[in-house]
Amino acid sequence: MGKPVIYFLLFANLAFSAVAQSNFVTCSNGQTCTPHYDCPDITAMTSKGHLTPEEKQYLKSKHCNKVKVLNYFCCGNEAPQPKPTVTEPLPKTTVTQSSAKQFFPEPPACGSYQQDRIYGGQNTNIDDYPWVAQILYSRPRRSIGIHCGGSLINQRWVLTAAHCDIMIKQRVNYDIVGVRLGDWDTRTNPDCQQLVNERVCNVQYVEVPVEKIISHEGYDMHSRNQYNDIALLKLQRDVVYTDWIKPICLPLTSDLRDIDYTGHSLDVAGFGKTSETENSSPVMKRLDIDGIARNKCQQYYSTQNVNLDDSQICAGGKKDEDSCNGDSGGPLMKYGNFPNSLAAYYMLVGIVSFGPINCGTQDAPGVYTRVSEYMDWIENKVQNS
């Protein structure tokens, strides 16, 4: 990443004073309108990932903030949603939605964003992007190193790029051995950040060995097109979700898979180089980039003998704005209110694949593997591995 375009979001507490109390619904039975992460009943329900229709209705009934970008729920001593009494056998029903929902969490159990934090430029806060993974490699005659990123998609699986497995192994003989989760500053463990009114510290990061590496069968490291640049890492054990380790949402339904991201504001995050001449960043960085139409992107890559297809997304292309080396395999994300969601959340749109030789070249967008094109492949591998 080069020098970013700096912009700022307002403090959430200042926003609250501007929108007034009318944005919050009055809770009954002595309950209070509370952020979802501070409500044990809500977090217990959502942490399991898949929600039943009854649980979704319960969450909807407890949602107490009219501003959809914030997940606030009526919280207190009231017991979670009562189980329905079954008086007769239920008839068998035909499943019409993607069975991927059996394996992957749905919002608000994924893609959550702590809105009440300072946000600006390419800096992240200590609890931002808790799904960002760092991939650990064994290196001949050297210590364990980190050379790619990834995204936690459930308690057992991390999604990354196939070139992070095949190309790195072939070219420098590095082998993927594990994944680090919950890290924000590679210089310290645990990490702390001084915010305006508080000092926030996380817990020690977690390193989990990788049990199985599944790179896409159609990936060819020698191809300039880099189609099928996607891989799954199965961890040796389930990870426990915390404030610092959470999954990102996937495009599980057809309406989410069909979104055209041209002109959309997208996020990339990772520990890659902050400019073409600098080393990897010790602190997680992020950048806001725009989705680019594929035909416009193709104009540049045709000069490089690269042919793009529907399985790829282009983004960036402004001077000094790009994901750089070290961000390979990391997430390209969209934050927003998606269909049928209670509130805004992050969804995984792409995986960092490749870009121009010089990071942040004007009119040379980065290329990302489009996750929605591979949901059937992802589901099949997770279900059968």
pLDDT digits (tens, 9 = 90+) for 27-68: 887 788 876 656 777 766 655 445 566 776 777 788 776 443
Q: Summarize the confidence of residues 371-384 as an average pLDDT.
A: 97
Q: Which residues pair with 263 in a beta bridge?
A: none
Classify residue 219 by its DSSP letter: -
User: Does 2 have pLDDT greater than 60?
Assistant: no
Q: Is the pLDDT of residue 158 over 60?
A: yes
Degrees, nearest 5: CA angle 167-365-261: 105
Provide the pLDDT for residue 123. 80
Nearest in space to 328 (alpha carbons), one of 135, 75, 193, 177: 135
Q: What is the structure's pLDDT at 65? A: 64
pLDDT given at position 74: 86
> What phi and psi, each to the nearest 5 degrees, are found at residue 26?
-75, 125
Phi first, then psi: give them for residue 373, nearest 5 degrees: -70, -15
pLDDT average, residue stretch 122-138: 93
Query: How far is it, in rounded angstroms, from Cα 34 to Cα 154?
Result: 25
Which of the two residues, 219 and 327, has the higher pLDDT score?
Answer: 219
Which tens digits make up the pLDDT trace of 222-281? 999 999 999 999 999 999 999 999 999 999 999 999 999 999 999 999 987 655 545 678
pLDDT at 300: 92
Q: What percent of the chain has pLDDT over 70?
A: 73
| Tokens at 230, concatenated | 């996607």
Give me the pLDDT at residue 45, please: 66
**Distance between CA atoms of residues 199 and 358, nearest Å:** 38
Check residue 166 and give its pLDDT: 97
Beta strands in 24-160 (DSSP E): 32-35, 72-75, 119-120, 132-139, 142-152, 157-160
| Distance from C-alpha of 108 to C-alpha of 112, rounded to nearest angstrom | 6
- Write down the mean pLDDT value for the chain: 80
* Residue 136 identity (one-letter amino acid): L
| Predicted structure pTM score | 0.75
Which residue matches tokens 């390979």? 328
Rg (CA), the chain: 21
Tokens for 274, please give them.
Answer: 């902050």
CA distances from 243 to 105, 130, 132, 138, 201 (A): 16, 7, 13, 29, 11
**Mean of pLDDT values over 99-123:** 71
Active site residues: 163, 229, 328
The share of the chain scoring above pLDDT 90, in percent, equals 56
Backbone angles phi, psi at 313, to 5 degrees: -125, 140
Question: What are 205's two structure tokens?
Answer: 């990061």
Q: What pLDDT is recorded for position 202?
A: 94
DSSP state of 302: G
Residue 320, pLDDT > 90, answer no
Tokens for 324, please give them. 């750089």
Q: Is the pLDDT of residue 315 over 90?
A: yes
Model pLDDT, residue 112 = 86
pLDDT for 183-231, tens place per residue? 999 999 999 999 888 899 999 999 999 999 999 999 999 999 999 999 9
